């Protein structure tokens, strides 16, 4: 990493008081840790699980992905590929950089799957035209009780109740672990990484409080 060498400073404004800290990863981590307890408990629990397991817990369903699957099954013509459902059932394809082949089975939209979703939406009294609006409601709606393609998720959960985790919660947990445990490229500039910490803290931990953190570039003299 390219050290900042006092080119920037972290400025904290809290209840009318100003505090200035050196722009270092250590200080950024300390700020993160000092506010971590205010994070959404669901995101914090998921982050700890992800850190321990090194993979997604088997009982978690990503609500954004599920909403995309439901949209896919009701808008794509039968017989066409269903990449969102494929991702839900078998995970993501290997990255291009890995050079590994995609060995996941092909998944197609079928009339049966489409009818299942339409019937479920009717019985649940939810709009079959805007599944993205259901991301906060899936836990209560329990679609796995009616949709056959979620049977594999139930099986993976191995007796545990499925948890429908909102995409923003998953994103928060993932980013928290990057900041807590991640390593940075040699050509990464320290002040850019520090800004990533401060953005996370601002967006997720202290956004509604009277404490604000900003990154300021230091000047040798006034122009």
Query: And the tokens for 172?
Result: 């928060």
Q: What is the pLDDT of residues 200-212, one digit of tens each?
A: 998 888 655 678 8
Percentage of the chain surpassing pLDDT 70? 96
DSSP, residue by residue, 14-35: ETTEEEEEE--HHHHHHHHHHH
Query: And the tokens for 178?
Result: 């990057």
**Residue 223 scores a pLDDT above 60:** no
Question: How confident is residue 48, by pLDDT bands cut at 50, 70 and 90?
Answer: very high
Percentage of the chain surpassing pLDDT 90? 58
Question: Is this prediction's pTM over 0.95?
Answer: no
Q: What is the pLDDT of residues 98-137, one digit of tens each?
A: 888 989 899 999 999 999 999 999 999 998 888 988 888 9
**How far apart are the C-alpha atoms of 38 and 56, rounded to whole Å?**
23
Q: pLDDT at position 208, please?
A: 59
Per-residue b or e along 62-95, where b marks 16 or more CB atoms closer than 10 Å to that residue's CB: bbeebbbbbbbbbebeeeeebbbbbbbbeeeeee
Question: How confident is residue 56, by pLDDT bands cut at 50, 70 and 90?
Answer: confident
Q: pLDDT at position 215, please?
A: 94
Per-residue b or e along 97-135, where b marks 16 or more CB atoms closer than 10 Å to that residue's CB: eeeeeeeeeebebeeebbebbeebbeeeebebeebeebb
- Number of other CB atoms surrounding residue 210 within 10 Å: 10
**How far apart are the C-alpha atoms of 134 and 130, rounded to whole Å?**
8
- Whose tokens are 């996370």? That residue is 200
- Could you report how far apart the first and last alpha carbons of the chain are, in Å? 30
**How far apart are the C-alpha atoms of 45 and 34, rounded to whole Å?**
17
Helices (H), 110-204: 111-124, 138-141, 151-157, 167-181, 190-204
**How far apart are the C-alpha atoms of 171 and 207, rounded to whole Å?**
17
Question: How confident is residue 154, by pLDDT bands cut at 50, 70 and 90?
Answer: confident
Q: pLDDT at position 116, please?
A: 95
- Number of other CB atoms surrounding residue 60 within 10 Å: 20
């Amino acid at each position: 990493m390219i050290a900042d060498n006092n080119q920037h400073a972290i400025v904290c404004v809290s209840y009318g008081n100003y505090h200035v800290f050196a722009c270092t990863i250590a200080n950024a981590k300390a700020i993160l840790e000092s506010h971590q307890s205010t994070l959404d408990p669901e995101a914090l629990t998921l982050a700890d699980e992800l850190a321990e397991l090194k993979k997604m817990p088997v009982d978690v369903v990503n609500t954004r992905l599920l909403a995309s699957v439901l949209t896919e099954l009701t808008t794509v013509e039968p017989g066409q590929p269903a990449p969102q459902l494929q991702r839900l059932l078998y995970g993501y394809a290997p990255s291009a950089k890995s050079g590994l082949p995609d060995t996941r089975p092909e998944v197609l939209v079928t009339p049966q799957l489409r009818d299942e979703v339409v019937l479920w939406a009717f019985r649940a009294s939810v709009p079959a035209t805007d599944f993205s609006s259901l991301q906060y409601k899936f836990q209560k709606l329990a679609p796995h009780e009616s949709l056959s393609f979620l049977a594999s998720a139930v099986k993976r959960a191995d007796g545990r109740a499925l948890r429908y985790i909102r995409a923003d919660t998953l994103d928060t947990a993932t980013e928290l672990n990057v900041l807590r445990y991640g390593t940075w490229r040699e050509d990464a500039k320290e002040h850019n990484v520090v800004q990533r910490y401060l953005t996370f803290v601002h967006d997720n931990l202290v956004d509604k409080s009277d404490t604000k953190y900003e990154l300021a570039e230091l000047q040798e003299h006034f122009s």
